[in-house]
Chains A and B, each alone.
Chain A
């Protein structure tokens, strides 16, 4: 089973600031990496898959990059709606495991 890790655990930032979230896989997953956003009491929302393919309806301020074992989710200018928990997940094989999440909170 591939182990996913994320850093930082918590990111404190102000609206308008740039946020950079990291995700690492214990072995190469090629570009088979997805990102999700989750708000309290809600189901996760798909942001990216294939490391950098934006899901339907995701704003351009979000971008995804990376390959192999190192991946990054960048939010260019934080909006109030972006404060949430973000999970990465590999989709290379079964089981598709998730990282522990990064909480983006208002500073």
Chain B
């Protein structure tokens, strides 16, 4: 059974940093596209970052230069390092697996809430 467990969210001040984790079981993160998708309160979905099987990465314009996605193959975990956080980064962040090395997301974590506020 595939399971993705998201953690690391919390309350942080504007300009602060936070690192999210996505611990995977039932799949190997290095063999899959792994992405972070966020959802602001009451709003829609935005794909903010992805790490590909070869290790290359992509970012949404809204987070490029501030967020970094990475993975630890030994821990089968994906991370999202978020720096220079802004109020508009407040959202539930979901980890998701790309189906068949595509930008289709078939397995999702439960989400972790990030609140950026003073």
Contact = CB atoms under 8 A, between A and B. Distances in A.
Interface stretch (B18-26, B41-49, B67-75, B83-91): B41-49
Contacts of B94: 43-44
A101 B45 CA distance: 9
A4 to B, nearest CB: 9
B110 A97 contact: no
Size band of the A side of the interface? 20 to 34
A34 B45 CA distance: 13
Contacts of B110: 43
A101 B44 contact: yes
B44 A98 contact: yes
A89 interface: yes
Nearest to A91: B103
Interface of A: 1, 34, 36, 43-46, 49, 55-56, 87, 89, 91, 93-101
Given A44-B45, A98-B46, A100-B44, A49 B104 contact: yes
Nearest to B92: A43
11 contacts: A44-B105, A44-B108, A45-B108, A46-B99, A46-B106, A49-B99, A91-B102, A95-B58, A96-B103, A99-B44, A101-B44
Contacts of B61: 1, 95
Nearest to B111: A43
Given A43-B108, A46-B104, A55-B106, 20 more contacts: A43-B96, A43-B111, A44-B45, A44-B105, A44-B108, A49-B99, A49-B102, A49-B104, A87-B45, A89-B45, A89-B104, A91-B102, A95-B60, A96-B47, A97-B47, A98-B44, A98-B45, A98-B47, A99-B44, A101-B44
Contact of A94 (B37, B58, B108, B111): B58
